[in-house]
């Protein structure tokens, strides 16, 4: 990897970390919620009863709200700044 890629990765981590610092939570869409439920091997987000399937037609589909930890944004900003500064310290290969 050359210095341009290190710098790009560092800047992307900085921007992504600042986004994580600004949000409180985000909502996953229905296919992602179902895939997450299947991967965690918990019970399905919807049951197969006839009444609940009728309610699922009337009400919105199941979604999951994710609350990222507060330290995640700061960690991404710190790692991004270190990687960006490391990219500036790498010698140029012209």
Q: What is the pLDDT along the chain (94 residues), one digit of tens a residue?
A: 788 999 999 999 999 999 999 999 989 888 888 888 888 865 555 555 565 555 555 556 778 888 999 899 999 999 999 999 999 998 887 6
Whole-number pLDDT of residue 60: 61
Q: Quick count: other Cβ atoms within 10 Å of Cβ 88?
A: 10
Q: Are residues 35 and 57 in the same domain?
A: yes
Q: Are residues 61 and 74 in the same domain?
A: no
The domain total for the chain is 2
- State both tokens at 6: 């290190």
Whole-number pLDDT of residue 6: 93
Whole-number pLDDT of residue 80: 97
If you write DSSP's letter for every residue of 10-46 in order, what string do you get? HHHHHHHHHHHHH-S-EEE-HHHHHHHHHHTT---SS
Q: Quick count: other Cβ atoms within 10 Å of Cβ 51?
A: 8
Q: Are residues 53 and 81 in the same domain?
A: no
Give the global pTM: 0.68
Q: Quick count: other Cβ atoms within 10 Å of Cβ 20?
A: 19
Whole-number pLDDT of residue 59: 57
**Residues of the domain holding 61:** 27-67
Whole-number pLDDT of residue 51: 57
Q: Are residues 44 and 74 in the same domain?
A: no
């Amino acid at each position: 990897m050359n210095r341009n890629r290190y710098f790009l990765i560092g800047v992307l981590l900085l921007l992504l970390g600042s986004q994580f610092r600004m949000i409180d939570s985000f909502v996953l869409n229905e296919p992602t919620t179902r895939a997450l439920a299947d991967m965690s091997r918990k019970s399905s987000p919807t049951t197969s009863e006839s009444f609940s399937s009728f309610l699922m037609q009337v009400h919105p589909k199941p979604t999951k709200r994710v609350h990222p930890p507060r330290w995640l944004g700061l960690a991404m900003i710190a790692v991004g700044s270190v990687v960006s500064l490391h990219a500036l310290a790498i010698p140029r290969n012209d």
